[in-house]
Amino acid sequence: MADLSKEKEIAHKNGIEIFQVHGPWPVDSTTEENRENNIKYYEKAITGTKILGSDYIVIHPLMPNGWKDEDYNETYEINKDFFER
């Protein structure tokens, strides 16, 4: 994370505002274990966003069934839990 402070400094010196950051993607969210592990990546990304001085991070909804057809209710509940965390 120390490197991010340097990146922010370089951007600032060059008149660049880091308006938003893109979170980890794609991630495998097809199992509960993977979703739990991925939370750590998102937490780091949110911390990194703060270090860079941005108020915004893009985080895509999880796809618990991969690229297959999603079950709306299951997908909704998994994403609701994920974004609440």
Q: Token pair of 46, please? A: 């949110």
| Residue 54, Cβ density class (10 Å: 0-12 exposed, 13-18 middle, ≥19 buried) | middle
What local confidence, expressed as pLDDT, does residue 1 receive? 64
What local confidence, expressed as pLDDT, does residue 70 receive? 74
- Written as tens digits, the pLDDT of the chain (85 aa) is 668 999 999 999 999 999 999 998 888 888 999 999 999 999 999 999 999 999 999 999 988 887 777 788 988 999 999 999 8
Alpha-carbon dihedral of residues 43, 49, 50, 51, nearest 10 degrees?
110
CB 47 within 8 A of CB 81: no
What local confidence, expressed as pLDDT, does residue 58 receive? 95
